[in-house]
Amino acid sequence: MADPDAGIPFRKGHGTENDFVLLPDPDGALELTPARVRALCDRHRGLGADGVLRVVRTAALGEPIDGQLPGAEWFMDYRNADGSIAEMCGNGVRVFARYLVEAGLVGAGAGRGADQLLVGTRGGSKRVWFVDGAEGTESADRAEVAVAMGPVRLGGQSIATVAGWEFPGVLVDVGNPHLACVTDVPLDELDLTVSPGYDPADFPSGVNIEFLTPPIDGATRMRVYERGVGETRSCGTGTVAAAAAALRHAGRAEGKLTVYVPGGRVLVTLSGGEATLTGPAVLVAAGELSAEWWRSLSG
C-alpha cells in the first residue's frame, strides 16, 4: 500500500531558460488537476515554471492519442502554466528526453547514433537524439539535444497588436498554433507584460505569438508570448515558427537558421516541409513535493 504521507518526486529543468517541473508518474497514478499545475508553476507559492511535464508510460495515459508510433513507450503529458493542456513543446521534449536517459528509463545507448528515442506527445511521436561536441563540449551529459519536430505548415496572414501597434504576421502550424511577425521595430521596445491582441476568428483556441527580426547572416532574434503562460525566455515550437517565417521573409522555404531568444540560442533546420530543432536541455534540481501541500490543491 502506498504511503499517503510520502512526498511526490519532481525534477526541475530548462531548455534555453524555458523551464519545467517534471513529475515522474510511470503508471499514471497522479491526479494532475489544473489547480495543481497552476500552483506548481507559480513562482511565489510553488516551484515556479513555464509548464509541467508529466512523465507517464503511453500505455498508462488513460486516453486515446492519435499519431503515436510503435516504440514510443514514454509520453510527455505537457501542461501550460495556467493548467491548460498543450499539444507540443519543443524545449520541453528535449528536457524530457534528457530526463529519460538520466533516470535510466531508456537504454544507455538511447538517443545515440541510429538508436533514436521516440517520445509520445499530443502533437504525435517525436524522434529525439543527442548531438555530441556541441559548442566544443565532449561530455555526453552536456551534449545538446535535437528533435524532429515534424511538419511545419505556413498559412495566410493575420495581425497581432501591442499597445496599439499592428504587426502583420504569418500563421504557422507546428502541431500547435503560432503567429510569427517579422518586424523592424526594436524587440526590446515591445511591452509583452500583457497578451498581444489577435483575431480570434483565425485562432479560436488561442495562439503563441512571436516577434522576430529579419534574418541577417543566418540568424534572427525573437521574443514570444506563449498561450496559457505569458512571455517566456524561449519557446521551442515558437523558434521553429519564427525560423519558417524568417526564411519566407527572405524568399526561401528551406535552410538553417540560428534563433536567439532571451534565454539563449537554438538551431532550426527546415527541409522538405519539416523541421529539426537543436539546443540545450539542462536538469538543475531534484526533490519531493509535500504530500500535504499536494492534497490541499485537489480542487
Cα 45 to Cα 9, 55, 74, 99, 226: the distances in Å are 18, 23, 30, 25, 21
Residue 89 bears catalytic tag: yes
The answer to whether the beta carbons of residues 8 and 24 sit under 8 Å apart is no
Q: CA–CA separation, 88 vs 77, rounded Å?
A: 9
How many CB atoms are located within 10 Å of the residue 135 CB? Answer: 8
- Of 235, 241, 243, 277, the catalytic one is 235
The answer to whether the beta carbons of residues 85 and 141 sit under 8 Å apart is no
Q: CA–CA separation, 166 vs 114, rounded Å?
A: 46
What 3-state class would DSSP assign to 143? Answer: coil
- Of 89, 119, 209, 268, the catalytic one is 89
How many CB atoms are located within 10 Å of the residue 190 CB? Answer: 18
Q: CA–CA separation, 226 vs 210, rounded Å?
A: 8
DSSP assignment letter at 140: G
Active site residues: 89, 235
